[in-house]
A and B are shown apart, each in its own frame.
Chain A
Amino acid sequence: MSVLQRIRTAPPRYWLVGVVILFFVGLPTVIDSFQASEWAQALILAIAIMGLNILVGYSGQLSLGHGAFMALGAYTSAILAHRYKMDYLLTIPIAGLLTGIVGFLFGVPALRLSALYLALASFALAVVAPSLIKRPVELTGGVHGIFVPPVDPPQFAKDAYAAVTGTAMTSDQWTYYVTLGCALVLFWLAWNLVRHRAGRAMRAIRDGEVAAAASGVNIAGYKTLAFGISALYAGIAGSLFGMAVGYVSPDTFPVALSIQLIVGAVVGGLASIPGPLLGGIFVYFLPIESNQWVPTQTWIPSQIASTVEKAGPAVSYGAVLILIMIFASNGIVGLVTAGYARVRRRLRGPGDRETGQTSPDPQTV
């Protein structure tokens, strides 16, 4: 098929992806610079959640400690940039790779743990991570952390941005575009992963380990691979995090971060590609909005608004998590696909009910 034919026959889903990408590319031109930094952080969480999703959603291993992997990536980049004066962008793939290898090594003992115990052990890791970071003071700066000076946009980016918008690109906006670039690449890689053999193998392991083993799938290999890949994503996310925030310290990686990641994965929709994006946006903006936006909305009764504001994100997170698991365990993506499928069935009419045709598996796109 020629390229033009391919474009014409592409499913509508692809057009949606194109629109979304355009939206994100153009976003910084219409929002404030610091808002670009906020969206960058939401995308960073989305990257980490994508990694977690590969582990939890596709290979069925539950990790509650991915905040620790983010910390590893962030500190690797910060140390390389701060101490060894490496160009920050160069440190990103290095941080990812290092974290990926560590994750892979973690995957080995994890093989022996059942789902529950893996959850327990990884949760404990997330809680302990800050105190472990503090230990090697010369390396990590201990409690004082490491400062990452703002990364200036390179000349070509400044010129391109000025040509389009007429204003100078700020380092926050540059961070956003670097993050967006990484997110596009990583999401595309994940999409390919789940469509092809590795993804199928992981899903087979998730759905029935014994059957998968009987079918000849290399359980240990794929499970540790999943761990490694998810850690790689978290490491890159951590590295970008250091760039966006400008500061890494033990306090910036509390256990709440690991919980944010799993909440995002679940709320967005496990075992889906768009899920992590939605999840990242959700978990990033929820605390900020519940604290600030809600009280300004006059249509919300003031009792509820002030309760939401004072109760804080913890209550919102907890309640949302429980409700989603009970009513929509496939997350937002699940709700949307279910709704879409229902609408399509209605539109198609009785024909489909007779033939019993099912809609294509969303995971194979």
Chain B
Amino acid sequence: MQEFLQQVVSGIATGGIFASLALALVLIYNAMGLVNFAQGEMAMLATFAAYTLINRGVSYWIAFPLTLVIAFAGGIAIQRIVIRPVERAPILTMVIVTLGLATLVNGLAGFFFGYVPRSFPSPFSAQTVNILGALASYQDLGVIAVTGVVLLAIYLLLQHTTVGLTMRAAAHHPEASRLLGVRVSWMLALGWGLASAVGAVSGIMVAPILLLEPNMMQTIIIYAFAAAVLGGIESPLGAVVGGVIVGVTINLAGAYLPFVGGDLQLAVALAIIVAVLVLKPNGLFGRPTARRV
């Protein structure tokens, strides 16, 4: 029982990592109806930016918001330069562009920073705390707490502000929005900027645990996809719940299903993606959408 509880708690901790990146994916989807394959790489690059600042002597508490601003600006820049030219292209083109972006950003990070893992500071101490007999560290709890804060911020933004509403309108009904005077293109840019900033938060929170190196987010993005898909690709709450479920499931499956074992963690995530997409494509919290023909 003790072991089971510990597996669950550890799974929730890992799930927090997936959830934080999944939030960025959900935000991008809300802004443009597409999942960004480069989200993890952009998050990693932003974290490297933070690392560079901190290395130059900037205090963590200044580097953090500064990195968010840089990430925000970077996201907008990427949208303007790379995404806007293919805005009206079919989904295939967009997916390939984001794939190309992922490859490019990963290569650039490797080129500039090399591949040796580095440590990254965390505002939370590494001490452990006892939860009902299971142990987690303050860093793990910190990831979950910060993810929760970001979730709240995104929820408020999307549901309770004009900007958020406008952004969603621009994503779902671009023509109608244009007629209403919405600068659709800039809404998309805003979406990219915000998603990039959320990704940066994820990277900064996660780097102390995963160690900062260019390939840091390469497999995490798959788990984050699983989390987003499971929760409902439009729902920020779904992303967080999905992340926790994915984290716990891969731990339990690895621990208690002998044919899965420890080395098929990622395969479990794939199984989750496929199962959700086939059985309940809108995920746990998504609303079924009707397609107009």
Contact = CB atoms under 8 A, between A and B. Distances in A.
B266 interface: yes
Contact of B111 (A266, A311, A325): A311
A259 interface: yes
A318 B95 contact: no
A109 B274 contact: yes
Contact of B281 (A117, A123, A312, A329): A117
A319 B273 contact: no
B110 interface: yes
A326 interface: yes
A160 B293 CA distance: 60
Nearest to B85: A326
Interface residues on A, range: 35 or more
B104 A315 contact: yes
Interface stretch (B86-94, B158-166, B179-187): B86-94
Given A112-B278, A311-B111, A321 B263 contact: no
B287 to A, nearest CB: 15
A293 B95 CA distance: 31
B270 A115 contact: no
B18 interface: no
Contacts of B273: 120-121, 124
A123 B229 contact: no
Interface residues of B, number: 42
A164 interface: no
A124 B269 contact: yes
Given A113-B277, A116-B34, A262-B96, A322 B82 contact: yes
Contacts of A329: 86, 89, 93
Contact of A322 (B35, B104, B106, B278): B104
B270 A128 contact: yes
A131 interface: yes
A144 interface: no
Interface string A316-357: 111111100110010000000000000000000000000000
B100 A317 contact: yes
Interface in B256-286: 263-264, 266-267, 269-270, 273-274, 277-278, 281
Contacts of A314: 103-104, 106-107, 110
B103 A259 contact: yes
Contacts of A123: 37, 222
Interface in A123-174: 123-125, 127-128, 131-132, 134-135
B156 to A, nearest CB: 27
Instruction: Say whether chain B's binding surface is mostly helix, strand, loop, or mixed.
Output: helix
A310 B111 contact: yes
Contact of B99 (A121, A259, A320): A259
B59 interface: no
B72 interface: no
Interface string A69-107: 000000000000000000000000000000000000000
Interface string A282-298: 00000000000000000
A114 B29 CA distance: 14
B281 A112 contact: yes
Contacts of A113: 277-278, 281
A244 interface: no
A148 to B, nearest CB: 25
A134 B263 CA distance: 9
Nearest to B107: A314
B64 interface: no
Q: Report which residue of A112, A210, A310, A322 has the largest number of chain B beta carbons within 10 angstroms of its beta carbon.
A: A322
A119 B102 CA distance: 15
Nearest to B82: A322
A325 B91 contact: no
B229 A318 contact: no
Contact of A119 (B86, B95, B264, B266): B95
B101 A318 contact: yes
A311 B107 contact: yes
A115 B89 CA distance: 13
A42 interface: no
Given A121-B273, A318-B105, 19 more contacts: A112-B281, A115-B92, A116-B34, A117-B277, A119-B95, A120-B225, A120-B229, A125-B270, A127-B219, A127-B222, A132-B264, A311-B107, A314-B103, A317-B107, A318-B106, A321-B99, A322-B82, A322-B97, A326-B85
Interface of B: 34-35, 37, 82, 85-86, 89, 91-93, 95-97, 99-108, 110-111, 219, 222, 225-226, 229, 263-264, 266-267, 269-270, 273-274, 277-278, 281, 293
23 contacts: A56-B92, A64-B95, A113-B281, A116-B34, A120-B229, A121-B274, A131-B264, A131-B266, A262-B96, A311-B110, A312-B111, A314-B104, A315-B103, A315-B107, A317-B100, A318-B103, A321-B100, A322-B101, A325-B89, A325-B96, A325-B100, A326-B85, A329-B86
